Structure 1
Amino acid sequence: MSIKFDYTDKVVLVTGSSSGIGEAIAKRMAELGAMIVITGRSKENVHRVANECQQLSPKKLQPLQVIADITNDDDARRLIQSTIDMFGRLDLLINNAGYAQVTSIFDPKSLDTFDKVIRLDVRATINLTLMAVPYLEKTCGNIINISSICGTKPIIGFYGYCMAKASMDMFTRVIAMELGPKGIRVNSINPGGVRTNFLNAIGLNTEQVSQQEEYLRRSSPIGMIGEPNDVADLVAYVGSNHAKFMTGSCLLIDGGALFSSLALATSS
């Protein structure tokens, strides 16, 4: 029996949906009939992704576009309120927005970077979730946190990002226990190496990115590097009723990298 995912009439908010994995998730949800909230800091990218989502939507539904920095409490509040004002409900919150940067114990300035990583990857996720819960309770909705293999596997030179993702995984587990009685499921998806702008964002040049992607591919037992759509497909399953018995789970999608010698070029 083939599984068909149907998000018709579901309202899905994807943070960090103007590029990368978040963009792929938003597009997959649009294809499946959902009403999408696209948000990010770049007006140009938010507008582009929203237009592409509308074209993918079976009913050509126009996504809500919200330009916001979710580390700003007022912006986060406006994001949730705009969603409710527009659609009157929220069914699925996907906490995807994140920030990564080199944080080495040998860098005396790394604490400043650590604060930035934690502010977006942990605090902003918690804050937005707190605001969303009352609406998710009304719809028996669910939450999916996009974490990382780095929450489980230590990466030299990235103590900040690894700690942030480990925190997100534990947040997932704890609130799954608290929100389960309210009918809200909470799960985490933990990608390994995925071909996005992540490596560029942490400072690698074009040649280094190519080398690192090849290393990630070879480090996988199945000889693959992930694509954003691989994560989007898993999100579609976890957020659907087909996964109704799943909550508090942290799901690796890493090509087997957890058991490999995975590392980043900047750590060598």
Structure 2
Amino acid sequence: MVICCFFLQQRKNNKIHKMSIKFDYSNKVVLVTGSSSGIGESIAKRFAQLGAMIVITGRSRENVNRVSNECQQLSPKKLKPLEVIADITIDDDAKRLIQSTIQMFGRLDLLINNAGYAQITSIFDPKSLDTFDKVMRLDVRATINLTLMAAPYLEQTRGNIINISSVCGTKPLVGFYGYCMAKAAIDMFTRVSALELGPKGIRVNCVDPGGVRTNFLNAIGLNAEQVAQQEEFLRRSSPIGIIGEPNDVADLVVYVGSEYAKFMTGSCLLIDGGALYSALALATSS
């Protein structure tokens, strides 16, 4: 079995003791929305490496199948993930996703609300309300809907929820008012739902990435040259001079979902290379 571990130095009575932290998700069922690409794909693969039973879902059958096969190869016991082709903005699809998970595995331990949509939304665009509606429907409404449906099963396992938000929920980004508002809503929903679900034994936390190298920039309409320009801008604007990778986010999610974070709920954790305190913007915007 593949186990990620690291060491902490614990000082006690003026002596330093080494404490090994091992992540083992054997027999845990992990549902990752938007897991057919990008950050969601990396999260699913990391949990598969740690022995979890994974639910892969997205709208592209080809991508879902590809990620599922790769997760199976990474799984220590070669566990085959459940594949669910679904558009979670459609209530019947969202319901089928949860029901299929329970029918297949009989339980749910961790819901990761990762699926999201972003598009340039300028107040000067006369069609920006249409874009706003699309962003809110997937990024916010679908997250709330899945949370409500999953909660009874997570109560049974004393499981937890991790919402993938963005630094843009705190720091405004010109031309993206819809996306920024959606992520701010997710941050607040995380805090409120943590208060309501805590007494049920369910932890709810949020991970807020900054610039991460995925297909995000292509999806919002930038060409290859613009993508390269933007990634370089993000790297230079980071105090530590790097751009994030999907695995960076996946590693944090693994920790937050583990027993080592059992005292953490209602938290929104930045993993942004310092972007909150830098000049975050679209380098290609005018």
Tell me if structure 1 keeps the 8 A contact 2:109–2:157.
yes
Tell me, in whole angstroms, the C-alpha distance in 2 between the residues paired with 1:258 and 1:146.
16
If asked which structure has higher relative contact order (CA below 8 Å, sep 6+), I would say: 1
Does 2:46 match 1:46?
A: no
Q: Which amino acid aligns with 1:88?
A: G
Tell me, in whole angstroms, the C-alpha distance in 1 between the residues paired with 2:132 and 2:188.
18
Partner deviation per Cα, 1:145-199 (whole Å, 9 max, x = no partner) = 0000000000000000000000000000000000001100000000000000000
Query: Which structure features the higher share of helix residues?
Result: 1
Q: 1:267: Cα distance to partner?
A: 3.2
Q: Alignment identity in percent?
A: 86
Tell me if structure 1 keeps the 8 A contact 2:121–2:178.
yes
Partner deviation per Cα, 1:97-128 (whole Å, 9 max, x = no partner) = 00000000011110000000000000000001
Tell me, in whole angstroms, the C-alpha distance in 1 between the residues paired with 2:266 and 2:143.
16
Give RMSD over aligned pairs: 0.6
Q: Which amino acid aligns with 2:221?
A: G
Choose which of 253, 278, 284 in structure 2 pairs with 1:235. 253
Q: Where does residue 171 of structure 1 map in the other structure?
A: 189
Tell me, in whole angstroms, the C-alpha distance in 2 between the residues paired with 1:210 and 1:32.
33
Q: Which runs of 5+ in 1 are unaligned?
A: none
Q: Where does residue 153 of structure 2 map in the other structure?
A: 135
Please say which structure displays the higher CA radius of gyration: 2
Does 2:206 match 1:188?
A: yes
Q: Where does residue 234 of structure 2 map in the other structure?
A: 216
Query: Which structure features the higher share of strand residues?
Result: 2
Q: 1:265: Cα distance to partner?
A: 3.0
- Normalization by structure 2: what TM-score? 0.93
Q: Where does residue 105 of structure 2 map in the other structure?
A: 87
Does 2:271 match 1:253?
A: yes
Partner deviation per Cα, 1:55-92 (whole Å, 9 max, x = no partner) = 00000000000000000000000000000000000000
Tell me, in whole angstroms, the C-alpha distance in 1 between the residues paired with 2:34 and 2:283.
25
- Normalization by structure 1: what TM-score? 0.99
Q: 1:30: Cα distance to partner?
A: 0.1
Q: Which runs of 5+ in 2 are unaligned?
A: 1-18
- Aligned residue pairs total 268
Tell me if structure 1 keeps the 8 A contact 2:204–2:265.
yes
Q: Where does residue 224 of structure 2 map in the other structure?
A: 206
Q: 1:264: Cα distance to partner?
A: 1.2
